[in-house]
């Protein structure tokens, strides 16, 4: 599959005129002409352009970035970087089979937590800035499938504290929630995943049924402080006496609103568990 220069410009953030200027000055990239005499770019060229764009964003001059890409082909990069480059290249040309194949190869060479934390989650965080909607949907669906499979593959616990995990209403990105579920299961927790876009009424019904020690919400969608506080007050009331902990980029900038609503904030599974232990210890002392 090949891509036109307009698509390349949209996906990499490098203007069409700039790509043509690079071609004249540096002989890079090297598109071919189709029957209509339009420039079209192969998967390999797409990969090279994307790498150059990334190196420029990291501070290299254009000439230095192009020279580095030319002298260090993808095949000679460290294993993780090579897999990442191959994944983005496949997604750019909407080759879902190849992108999924890359994720499978990575999983075969990495332990579970490293696979989740150093490959899948960074890919998920980067794609909003890299991709258009169609490619983002393709890539995020593949990564969510992998994360969900990892969670399901962990043995279900018969004992241990119970956590209820969800994204609040109108929050549709559950990648971080799945990663949290994986880490908690590996730490000995019993995990119930309600997933994306969960209304308060559903949280309340689940809490009344399973009585979790902890309710964890992943907030990716940006909200105003007042909106988030109102939402969390409803969740805290509906899920009492369970501890409600919030995380995610949509919550990070509104810590005052979170605490005012009676909830807590955690950046990671380790922080969440430590916070729960602290609150439990204080309750026992009381």
Determine which helix (DSSP H) or strand (DSSP E) holds 23, and give its type and residue range: helix 16-26
Chain mean pLDDT for the chain: 90
The contacts of residue 242 (CB under 8 Å, 6+ apart) are: 164, 207, 211, 212, 213, 214, 215
Q: Hey, which CATH number is domain 157-285, 3.30.70.2660, 1.10.3720.10, 3.40.50.280, 3.40.640.10?
A: 3.40.50.280
Q: For 144, phi and psi rounded to 5 degrees?
A: -65, -40
- In tens, the pLDDT along 24-36 reads 998 988 888 877 7
Q: What is the pLDDT confidence band of residue 284, given thresholds at 50, 70 and 90?
A: low
Q: What is the model's pLDDT at position 283? A: 65
pLDDT band at 206 (very low <50, low <70, confident <90, very high): very high
Q: Which two tokens stand for residue 165?
A: 């995990």
Tokens of 163: 């956590």
Q: Supply the pLDDT for residue 112.
A: 95
Would the pLDDT of 219 be above 60? yes
Instruction: Give CA separation, 106 vs 100, 113, 114, in Å.
Output: 10, 12, 10
CA nearest neighbour of 217 among 249, 182, 253: 249
| DSSP state, residue 94 | T
Please give, one letter per residue, the 3-state secondary structure of the chain: CCEEHHHHHHHHCCCHHHHHHHHHHHCCCCCEECCCCCEEECHHHHHHHHHHHHHHHCCCCHHHHHHHHHHCCHHHCCHHHHHHHHHHHHHHCCCHHHHHHHHHHHHHHCCHHHHHHHHHHHHHHHHHHHCCHHHHHHHHHHHHHHHHHHHHHCCCCCCCCEEEEEEECCCCCCHHHHHHHHHHHHCCCEEEEEEEEECHHHHHHHHHHHCCCEEEEECCCCCCHHHHHHHHHHHHHHHCCCEEEEECCCCCCCHHHHHHCCCEECCCHHHHHHHHHHHHHHHHHC
Q: Which residue has the higher pLDDT, 46 or 266?
A: 266
- Name the token pair of 178: 């799945």
Kindly list the domain boundaries of the chain, sorted by start residue.
1-72, 77-153, 157-285
State the fold for domain 77-153: 1.10.1240
| Structure confidence by residue, pLDDT tens digits, 131-155 | 888 989 999 999 999 999 999 999 8
The class that CATH gives domain 1-72 is mainly alpha
Helix (H), strand (E) at residue 244: strand 243-247
165-192 pLDDT per residue, tens = 999 999 999 999 999 999 999 999 999 9
Q: What is the pLDDT of residue 155?
A: 85
Q: Which of 66-80, 111-125, 153-167, 222-236 has the lowest mean pLDDT?
A: 66-80
User: What is the per-residue pLDDT across 58-92, written as a single tens digit (0 to 9) for each?
Assistant: 889 999 988 988 887 766 677 888 888 889 888 88
Token pair listed for 18: 């700039």
**What per-residue confidence (pLDDT) applies to 1?**
60
Encode pLDDT of 228-279 as tens digits.
999 999 999 999 999 999 999 999 999 999 999 999 999 999 999 999 999 8
Looking at residue 122, its pLDDT comes to 93
């Amino acid at each position: 599959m090949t891509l036109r220069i307009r698509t390349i410009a949209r996906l990499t953030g490098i203007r069409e005129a700039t790509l043509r200027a690079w071609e004249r000055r540096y002989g890079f990239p090297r598109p071919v002409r189709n029957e209509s005499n339009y420039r079209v770019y192969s998967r390999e060229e797409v990969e090279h352009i994307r790498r150059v764009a990334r190196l420029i964003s990291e501070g290299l001059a254009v000439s230095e970035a192009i020279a580095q890409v030319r002298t260090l082909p993808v095949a000679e990069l460290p294993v993780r970087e090579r897999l990442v480059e191959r994944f983005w290249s496949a997604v750019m040309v909407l080759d879902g089979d190849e992108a999924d194949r890359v994720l499978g190869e990575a999983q075969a060479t990495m332990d579970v937590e490293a696979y989740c934390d150093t490959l899948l989650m960074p890919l998920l965080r980067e794609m909003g800035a890299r991709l258009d909607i169609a490619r983002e949907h393709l890539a995020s669906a593949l990564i969510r499938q992998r994360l969900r499979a990892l969670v399901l593959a962990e043995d279900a616990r018969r004992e241990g504290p119970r956590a209820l995990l969800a994204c609040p209403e109108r929050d549709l990105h559950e990648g971080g929630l799945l990663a949290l579920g994986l880490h908690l299961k590996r730490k000995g927790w019993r995990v119930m995943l309600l997933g994306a876009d969960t209304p308060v009424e559903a949280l309340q019904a689940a809490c009344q049924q399973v009585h979790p020690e902890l309710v964890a919400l992943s907030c990716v969608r940006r909200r105003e402080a007042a909106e988030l506080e109102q939402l969390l007050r409803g969740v805290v009331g509906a899920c009492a006496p369970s501890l409600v902990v919030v995380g995610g980029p949509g919550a990070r900038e509104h810590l005052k609103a979170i605490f005012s609503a009676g909830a807590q904030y955690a950046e990671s599974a380790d922080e969440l568990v430590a916070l729960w232990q602290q609150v439990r210890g204080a309750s026992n002392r009381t």
